[in-house]
Amino acid sequence: MEVVSADSRAVYRWMDIGTAKPSLAERARLPHHLIDIVDPDESYSLATYQRQALAVIARIVARGRLPLLVGGAGLYVSAVCDGLALPDVPPDLAFRALMEERARVDGKDALQRDLELVDPVSAGRIDPKNIRRVIRALEVFRATGTPFSTWQTPRAEPPVKCVFVGLQLERQALYARIDRRIDAWIAGGFVEEVRDLLARGYAPSLPSMSGLGYRQLAQVVQGAVALDDAVTQIKQATHLYAKRQMTWFGRDQRIHWLDAASVSVKDVIDLLTSTPVGEGEARRGRLGG
């Protein structure tokens, strides 16, 4: 078996604690792919991920091994398992700056209204507070003339077939586990990790730094927010993110759900290996908590 990461933040170097990357020892025991492949100030798109992930899966299968697509980034998983037709549109920095200024002057709802006019489906899917994704949808439409939601339509014949396995916890137990993990991250040097990123010249405004915890702790390092307040904000934001994840994946009837409170590694492996799939197909798992 080899793991193919489906984590939109684990691709970045020097961002280890807040992305919960597997340790070097864990990676030595089991090969992991698509981790630490770009610097935090490099552009990395969903289309790029899809292309790289499918290439990695093909190489793993050619070696006679089983690829496991592991992570909780819903679009990353869908890009591979559903074969989304994705626009490889490079970032338009000038357009993004213009849209960010419009949001600052006219409010976030102004961008949402713009998106509703050209792509009401994406406008209904994307949280208006997620300005970066709203701008990306507008950017893709501007470059291609095709709504972002149309690009995200699954292909009739996906490039790989997947067995879907999800781990779930009762919500309050999940929130408690999240809180313990964040406390462990802080104790383990998360603030120092963010301080090092800023010292390397990576600005809090970078897309890579928008991940949960990084932007809040950048404010701590800069003296704008107290650590206790930032930790509270991180926990609350992570609870909301976990809730959105479960809503996203909960709609997918293909997922075999297992109880994370009692499941063993053997249970997961047995399910993956006993569910029939054709040659060249991938297994996919979402690890919760």
Let me know whether 228 and 257 are in one domain: no
Let me know whether 239 and 256 are in one domain: no
Let me know whether 10 and 81 are in one domain: yes
Q: Distance between CA atoms of 21 and 36, rounded to whole angstroms?
A: 9
pLDDT above 90: percentage of residues in the chain: 76
Let me know whether 57 and 191 are in one domain: no
Look at the block and give the residue holding tokens 């759900």. 257
Q: Distance between CA atoms of 53 and 121, rounded to whole angstroms?
A: 27
Range of the domain at 145: 93-151
Q: Please state, in angstroms and as integers, the Cα–Cα distance from residue 12 to each residue in 7, 76, 124, 173, following that order.
A: 10, 15, 29, 29
Q: Averaging pLDDT over each range in 148-152, 194-198, 278-282, which range is the top one?
A: 194-198
Q: Distance between CA atoms of 233 and 16, rounded to whole angstroms?
A: 20
Residue 203, pLDDT > 80, answer: yes
Computed over every residue of the chain, the mean pLDDT equals 92
- What is the per-residue pLDDT for 90? 86
Per-residue pLDDT, averaged over 158-170, amounts to 92
Per-residue pLDDT, averaged over 39-62, amounts to 95
Contacts of 144 (CB under 8 A, 6+ apart): 87, 89, 151
Residue 280, pLDDT > 50, answer: no
pLDDT above 70: percentage of residues in the chain: 95
Let me know whether 137 and 81 are in one domain: no
Q: Using N-to-C axis directions, what is the helix angle for 171-187 and 227-250, rounded to 10°?
A: 140
Neighbouring-strand partners of residue 4? 33, 69
Residue 66, pLDDT > 70, answer: yes
Let me know whether 253 and 238 are in one domain: no
- What is the per-residue pLDDT for 278? 43
Residue 63, pLDDT > 50, answer: yes
- What is the per-residue pLDDT for 281? 53
Domain count, the chain: 3
Q: Please state, in angstroms and as integers, the Cα–Cα distance from residue 122 to each residue in 25, 113, 151, 211, following that order.
A: 41, 11, 11, 21
Per-residue pLDDT, averaged over 157-163, amounts to 89
Let me know whether 161 and 257 are in one domain: yes
Residue 287, pLDDT > 50, answer: no
Q: Distance between CA atoms of 82 and 160, rounded to whole angstroms?
A: 8
More confident residue, 43 or 227: 227
Let me know whether 116 and 158 are in one domain: no
DSSP assigned state of 153: P
Residue 119, pLDDT > 50, answer: yes
- What is the per-residue pLDDT for 284? 60
